[in-house]
Structure 1
Amino acid sequence: EKLFLKGDKCFTPRCAFEKRRNPPGDISRRRRRPTDYAVHLREKQKAKYIYGVMEGQFRRYMTDAFNTPGVTGMNLLRTLERRLDNVVFQLGFADSRKQARQSVLHGHFRVDGVKTDVPSYQVKPGQAISWKPSIKTTDFYAGRIEGVPKRPVPAWLTLDSGDMVGTVVSLPADQDLQAIVDSRLIVEFYSR
């Protein structure tokens, strides 16, 4: 199952999951039917790897999702989607979430004009994400301008591709949350 960890390569036929049918390891071994626990654990691990979150932080997000009114799984996905590194990736400013995280850590982005170098920063509606002015003269920035129109921007974000400024229009709605992971299985894992 694809996790889209390698940026644009996962959208091409060169993706490792497109090349081989079998899981890595001994070809003659067959996969056993996974237990319910294994299915739940795999879904939780998949979400952690996709968003680049460690276990302690993920558990805190889960606790907040349980305590927030509404559907717990949607609350969790909404929190993960609103992370600054994910928003930078969704706007097309980076090829992968890992690259977006590193760019945020290096201080390449401003939120409402203020340097923000915390990848887990939760963006709010009305905030603008822009590049640091001094980065606009680099080759990295020039490469990003060419790469921006590749992916569509989610409905809860807007992108001014001329100024390379993204704005958070609203919180992600249930239909805006991509079905990369099954949040129901994650909630069941933590409800044991």
Structure 2
Amino acid sequence: MSRYRGPKLRITRRLGKLPGLTQKSSKKTARPGQHGKGDGRKKTTEYGLRLEEKQKLKFNYGITESQLYHYIKEARRRNGVTGLVLLQLLEMRLDTICFSLGFASTMAGARQLVNHGHITVNNKVVDIASFQCQINDVIGVKPKATSKNIVESNLKNINFIDPPTHLTFDKTKLEGTVKNYCDRSEILLELNELLVIEYYSRR
């Protein structure tokens, strides 16, 4: 399945706030579609709840179904709490770190920055958005006027000012450093990751 390219506010009305998908908010409060116009008495099934949590991850991080399943398998393989490991894997993606540093206002914008060769890791250009960064990696901007102008413009327009504590950011150099794995409390997405793991438990 390819990435979603349809109306973003329609998704946030159904799933709630998704900071990685869009910073905008809809004036409408009802869920989209004909079933969103009722009195809200229709109960969501257990499967439906798990499906919605899984969809939140997909849309917020801009990943495909196969990519998410790959991360689930990798999280199960590693030591630690599977749900937290899954979130840490997603937060260590290069496009996610660029978004967290404020290089772009959405995850899609960050992915585009990476794909177009504007971002460096340890002074080497990396154009793979899913690249897994490691602790002590230095994420910077290509020393080219076009690249710097794009990032500086985006930094002026972001809604959140400070990056999470597992990252440090030098605004003068336009460089961020990965100090540790992310803390669960600092992830902007409101999510019950346990339900995502349960969704994939039979696969």
**TM-score, normalization by structure 1:** 0.87
| Percent identity between the two aligned chains | 34
Q: Which moved more, 1:92-101 or 1:19-28?
A: 19-28
Residue identity opposite 1:4 in structure 2: P
Residue 161 of structure 1 pairs with residue 171 of structure 2: yes
Unaligned runs of 5+ in 2: 1-15
Distance in 1 (alpha carbons) for counterparts of 2:20 and 2:96: 12
Residue identity opposite 1:2 in structure 2: K
Query: Residues 144, 170 of structure 1: CA spacing in aligned structure 2 closer, same or farther, 3 A cutoff?
Result: same
Residue identity opposite 1:24 in structure 2: P
Unaligned runs of 5+ in 1: 10-14
Which of 126, 135, 156 is residue 146 of structure 1 equivalent to? 156
Which of 23, 43, 47 is residue 8 of structure 1 equivalent to? 23
Which of 15, 21, 31 is residue 23 of structure 1 equivalent to? 31
Distance in 1 (alpha carbons) for counterparts of 2:175 and 2:182: 18
Distance in 2 (alpha carbons) for counterparts of 1:71 and 1:142: 37
Secondary structure of the equivalent of 1:46?
A: helix
Q: CA deviation at 1:30?
A: 4.0
C-alpha distance after superposition, 1:84-138 (max 9, x if no partner): 0000000011011110001100010000011100000111111101101114576
Distance in 2 (alpha carbons) for counterparts of 1:129 and 1:191: 35
Query: Residues 33, 165 of structure 1: CA spacing in aligned structure 2 closer, same or farther, 3 A cutoff?
Result: same
Distance in 1 (alpha carbons) for counterparts of 2:184 and 2:20: 23
* Residue in 2 that maps onto 1:58: 68
Aligned length: 185
The structure 1 segments of at least 4 consecutive aligned residues displaced by more than 6 Å after TM superposition are none
Distance in 2 (alpha carbons) for counterparts of 1:181 and 1:172: 15
Query: Residues 191, 28 of structure 1: CA spacing in aligned structure 2 closer, same or farther, 3 A cutoff?
Result: closer
Distance in 2 (alpha carbons) for counterparts of 1:120 and 1:165: 19
Query: Residues 143, 187 of structure 1: CA spacing in aligned structure 2 closer, same or farther, 3 A cutoff?
Result: same
Secondary structure of the equivalent of 1:151?
A: coil
Q: CA deviation at 1:21?
A: 2.1
Distance in 2 (alpha carbons) for counterparts of 1:141 and 1:113: 16
Query: Residues 59, 163 of structure 1: CA spacing in aligned structure 2 closer, same or farther, 3 A cutoff?
Result: same
* Residue in 2 that maps onto 1:113: 123
Secondary structure of the equivalent of 1:133?
A: coil
Distance in 2 (alpha carbons) for counterparts of 1:141 and 1:3: 22
RMSD between superposed Cα atoms in Å: 2.1
Residue 71 of structure 1 pairs with residue 81 of structure 2: yes
